[in-house]
Each structure stands twice: as C-alpha cells, then as structure tokens.
Amino acid sequence: MKIKDGFVMRRVGAQAMVVATGEASLQFHSMVKLNATGADIWTWIEKGCDEAAIVQALVDKYDVDEARATAALERFLSQMRAEGLVSDD
C-alpha cells in the first residue's frame, strides 16, 4: 500500500490534515482531518511500512491488542481508499 502522489499530511496547530497538491488538487478539493492514530498510520505508510508492521506499531504505541489494532488499520485504510488517497501498490 502507498499514499497516492499529490497527497501530503500537514499539521495546522495540533491538527493533522491531508491535502492535495499539484495535479491532485485539480480533482480533490477538500481536506481530510486525521486524529492522532490516523496521523501515525499515515506517517508509517509514508515510511513504507507494511500492514503487519503498522499493526505492531499500533499495539506498541497505544497498548491495544492485535485484533483492535488490525480493526483500526482496516477502518483507516477503507476510508482512505474510498477518498482515493491510498492505493494497494
């Protein structure tokens, strides 16, 4: 999985936002607000982590079990795919 070209996460104060840049901004005219977990997942995807590594990172950082971390990642990826921000490449 990877973040599609033209999408970046920026922080506005304490809030993390995903915005389109360049050519992507011609088609995508909004911003996506991320909570802390979403911002962490976005960052790990940017770093090239696979799903297993992200689940383990969520378990370690948020002290949750693997099932809960997996469900959180699946929800996030589903939403990001629906918005066209993440691909399965």
- pLDDT at res. 89: 78
Rama region for 6: left / alpha / beta (φ>0; ψ in -120 to 50; rest): left
Cβ-based neighbour number of residue 81 at 10 Å: 14
Confidence of residue 29 (pLDDT cuts 50, 70, 90): confident
Cα–Cα distance measured from residue 89 to residue 45, given in angstroms and rounded to the nearest whole number: 12
Q: pTM of the prediction?
A: 0.92
Cβ atoms of 1 and 80 within 8 Å: the answer is: no
pLDDT at 36 over 90: yes
Res 68 pLDDT > 90: yes
Task: Please name the amino acid found at residue 78.
Answer: S
Reference 72, options 30, 46, 44, 48; nearest CA is 44
